Structure 1
């Protein structure tokens, strides 16, 4: 998993509440078990018209936000079903950070397992970040995970809280497999000792 340390990038304003996982990645795209390739269908029903053409009004289709790496959204982001395809699609599109007043619990946890930093901030702060994001591609937010800060394009800095273990995992790029591999030497020692004590196993 990619490490997350500091990110400076374009933020797409998406001030909608209750963006659920079916809006993030509709159910017809859940047939794959691969993490790659889902980005093209991120927010599919909002990004594309029924004939497959792009909806020019949707923020990620606008020139300033086509390469956004941050989303600033409304409360209860990621609600609905617990599909892990939702953070897969977000990451595959190129989004590394989502900022909102609140998140659905399962989605929030899944973000950390996929190298995405979800940041919960008070509504008044999210409103400031949304307005900053509306300035377009020349206005870039900076997210510093080590310092736990978000800084606007004009220098306003806001502190965010994060669980220390989740922070460690993102900084080191550790998913569940990576955490297990950190214990590889201890596991090898146990297996060697167990093989000596129980050779018939």
Structure 2
């Protein structure tokens, strides 16, 4: 199985990196191929709302030729995609947000019988680290992730929120437990999808 992890944090060695690295190591141990993409290091503009993608014959049909295009191609070639981000203003980081807005170029015919997506059937997971609690803090990002996956017709393996993240050094046991749960959920969902083909 090929897994693409989208690292949305601008901090290279922060809390999100710690949990995601443990997840990636676990997946590699289990024989899977992992490609990490550091979104903060990419040049990704926001969606311009031009709708050129709606006229394109294949995805990604975005008119903006920046780093989002190869990122989307990696996602399209993956079996599973993990969106990893610290919580900024109850949402994804701005770097990840730009990429998410550009997902429109992967979908056609939304809310019609012809609804199709270049990510259809792919296994996805959400990893969020935050200093505060989950309640009234990390609830909106989970709703948004569900909507994104409904739009993209992908299969959510789980939403993994790690609260109380003060520093990477302080979240050791929590990070390991979350990474193990994520690995098991992604493998289980991807296997179920393969069997249903």
- With the shorter chain as reference, the TM-score category is 0.3 to 0.5
Flag the structure with larger Rg.
1
TM-score, structure 2 normalization: 0.37
TM-score, structure 1 normalization: 0.36
Higher helix share: 2
